[in-house]
Every structure is written in structure tokens, then in C-alpha cells.
Amino acid sequence: MRFLTSSALAASLSIMTLSVSGQATAQGMPPEQIKQILDVTKANWVAFRDWEGKQLIYFTHLESWKCGIDFVFYGLNDGQLDQMWELDECDPDNPNAVLKDKPYIELPAGSTQSISVQLVYPDGSKSSVETYQYKP
């Protein structure tokens, strides 16, 4: 699993504590601020895990910011971004809760060497395509 560096964590926390002006999302912050948080934390968008003879790729971080994301597209092993991760519906009363039973995709062990991910935000803009390498 990937973790935030101390500088990325500090930047993320400072972004989250900025005063909020203008229209806010369900998470109490404007969409531009959520995009900044997702940009700072992009190293954590997905995580690989080997479990009981299977390879799991977790989308937990993106699920926790689902109120600021419209779509998540991904592709495996340098393939096209032709698959979509379906985020749970945003709950304004509990926007960061990850309630999905399985916040991951399950694949045969060793079948995936990389995953590329791109987000589409509510304003229609897209993130850069981020690629994550499997490291056993």
C-alpha cells in the first residue's frame, strides 16, 4: 500500500484547513479545494494487495472523496482507460464514509502489473492520468 509522505500530508492538511468561501460541496468545501486535495494525495488513489491467492486493487481513498468526483476511469497493464469504477452515492450527512462492501477489484494473483486512473470532476475537468505499479 502507498502512504502519504510527511510533506504531502502536511500540504493536504493545510489545504483542508483553509477557510471556505463560496458554495461548498457536501464535504463542506468548494469543488476546487477537493480537486487540490485529490491532487496532493494522488499517490494514494489506489493500492495493491495480495490476499488469499488473489490480487486486490483498492479504491478506498477515492471512495472517501466521492462527493467531489463524478467518474473514475481505469485501465490495467498499460491498457486504455476503458473501465469505470462505480463510486457509491454521495451522502451529504456522511460524505467521507466508505460503506461499500468491497471497495476493491479482485483479480487473479499476479495478473496485473499496473493500473492507470483518471478522475472526472463535477465541473467536467479531468485529472491527469496516474499510473500505479504493482510492487510485490
pLDDT value of residue 16: 41
Cβ contact 114:134 at 8 Å: yes
Q: DSSP readout, 70-81?
A: SEEEEEETT--S
pLDDT value of residue 28: 64
For the chain, counts of helices (H) and of strands (E): 3, 7
Cβ contact 34:65 at 8 Å: yes
Ranges assigned E (strand) in the chain: 47-51, 54-58, 71-76, 83-85, 104-108, 114-120, 130-133
pTM of the model: 0.79
Residue 112's SS3 state is coil
- End-to-end alpha-carbon separation of the chain, Å? 10
pLDDT along the chain (136 residues), means of 10: 43 39 50 89 97 97 94 97 96 89 97 98 96 95
The grid cell for 21 is 468561501
Cβ contact 31:25 at 8 Å: yes
Hey, which residues does 50 pair with through a beta bridge?
55
The grid cell for 93 is 450527512
pLDDT value of residue 6: 41
